[in-house]
Structure 1
Amino acid sequence: MPRNTLTAEQIVRAAIELLDSEGLDGLNMRSLGQRLGSAATAIYWHIKTKDDLVRLAGDAIWDEIGLPDPDADWRTAATALATGMHAMLTRHPWFGQAAGGYLLYGRGKSRFDEHTIAAYEKAGFAPADADRAAATVFVFVLGSALGPAMEVSLTRRLTHAALQDAVARTHEIASEFPRLRERLDTPAAVGYADAPEGSFEFGLRAILDGFEARLSSR
């Protein structure tokens, strides 16, 4: 595809697809050019560096999160935004890795932040505490998405046998501790990078319950 028929939006969308399938290590201009049916030089005409490409891709995925109804109560809005962010991060497990190695910013992320802060101000938090509430939930959601991201990354990098060996070894070590041993012997026992079922929903409810209690006590 010649450079004058490519657009930056097409390149970013293809980059996201490549990141989803191959991970951060699999993203390079040559592979991206092959996906687009174009020479790498045509991509450089629009986007100069891999850092720029990751930043643009990392911002575009925030637009996938639907915005809550403006008339919704604060807790409904906060839950929708946090749940949408968690689903987005689960679809794009490379984002967590990119956040540790690239400067990520843009209008998509700012749009999300604007509506999140608005939800907590609507709850009754002063601006500074609304910022803290938004940051608390953001860190929780990001951490909750690390398990699936780890699973994807490990599956790409390691053989099935190596993963099975690691799981067996972790179970062997955990069996030395009574509470862990008891949980390993149940049908709900989790895998190497998994959290117990319902952990995200439980944690989010607990945080928002804490916010409500804090607001009610004032």
Structure 2
Amino acid sequence: MARDTLTRDQIIKATVELLDSEGLEGLSMRVLGKRLDAAATAFYWHVGSKDNLLALAADAAWKEIALPDLSTVGWRTAAATMAAGLHSMLLRHPWLVQAFGSYMVYGPGKARHDDHSLAIYEKAGLAGAKADQAAASVFIFVLGNALCHAASASLARRLSQNSGNAQETMRAARAKAREIATGFPRLRARLETAAAGYAAAPDNSFEFGLKALLDGIEAQLEMPSMPSGVSEALVAE
């Protein structure tokens, strides 16, 4: 495919698909070129650099999150909807979780998400740093949950590349983990549950944690405000 027949949107779409299947470590201009039947130089002409290409792919992923209409739903419903949308997006694109620690992937897509998230907590009655703290707390909670899925996907790929039989390697690793867990009474009691898997948690753990977090934010709204000197004294005690 010649340079002048490629479009930036085609390149970004193919990049997201490559990242979804091969992870962050599998992204290369050479592999992308094979997928699109184009020379690597064509990509540089359209997107500049590999880092910029990754930022564009990340931005496309962020734009997948639907923004609830704050004129028709309450703040808590909107917050839960946004958190669930973010969680689903990160499960579809686990490479984005990996990218946070190594690349600057901030663009209009994430800015759109962050701005709407702040609007939700402002609608709840929070302002300034309080709104920032609420939005950041929910974001970090969702990111932490998605990290488990990303870790499992990354481990499976690494074992597949480094071993002739990734499934057998995983079985051996799980057996070793179970052996270690038998030495701890609470872990031993849970060996036959969903929580025993690698980076696993019981069903509905995301929903449980999100509800607890939003309950806490809602409780903050119901607390009477105190002068800063009084609140600081209570913290010091």
TM-score range, shorter chain: over 0.9
Q: Please, which moves more after superposition, 171-180 or 75-84? A: 171-180
Q: In the aligned structure 2, how far is the partner of 1:6 from the partner of 1:190? A: 47
Q: Could you say which residue in structure 2 is the equivalent of 1:77?
A: 78
SS at match of 1:46: helix
Where do 5+ consecutive residues of structure 2 fail to align? Answer: 160-165, 225-237
1:134 Cα deviation (Å)? 0.3
Q: Could you say which residue in structure 2 is the equivalent of 1:59?
A: 59
**Rg bigger for which structure?**
2
List, as ranges, runs of 4+ consecutive aligned residues in structure 1 with deviation greater than 6 Å.
Answer: none
1:196 Cα deviation (Å)? 1.6
CA RMSD of aligned residues (A): 1.1
Q: Could you say which residue in structure 1 is the equivalent of 2:170?
A: 163
Q: In the aligned structure 2, how far is the partner of 1:203 from the partner of 1:80? A: 14
Aligned residues: 217
- 1:214 pairs with 2:231: no
SS at match of 1:145: helix
Q: What's the TM-score, normalizing by structure 2?
A: 0.89
Q: In the aligned structure 2, how far is the partner of 1:102 from the partner of 1:209? A: 33
Q: Deviations over 1:149-192 (max 9, x none)?
A: 111111111111221111111111111111111111x4444311
Q: Could you say which residue in structure 2 is the equivalent of 1:153?
A: 154
Q: Could you say which residue in structure 1 is the equivalent of 2:234?
A: none
Q: Counterpart of 2:91 in structure 1: which amino acid?
A: T
Q: In the aligned structure 2, how far is the partner of 1:168 from the partner of 1:147? A: 19
Rate the CA distance shift 1:188–1:47 in 2: closer, same or farther, 3 A. Answer: closer
Where do 5+ consecutive residues of structure 1 fail to align? Answer: none
Task: Give matches, 1:18-167, under 5 Å.
Answer: 18-70=18-70, 71-158=72-159, 159-167=166-174
Q: What's the TM-score, normalizing by structure 1?
A: 0.96
Percent identity over the alignment? 59
Q: In the aligned structure 2, how far is the partner of 1:146 from the partner of 1:156? A: 15
8 Å contact from structure 2 (residues 194, 200) kept in 1? no
- 1:183 pairs with 2:190: yes
Rate the CA distance shift 1:197–1:190 in 2: closer, same or farther, 3 A. Answer: farther
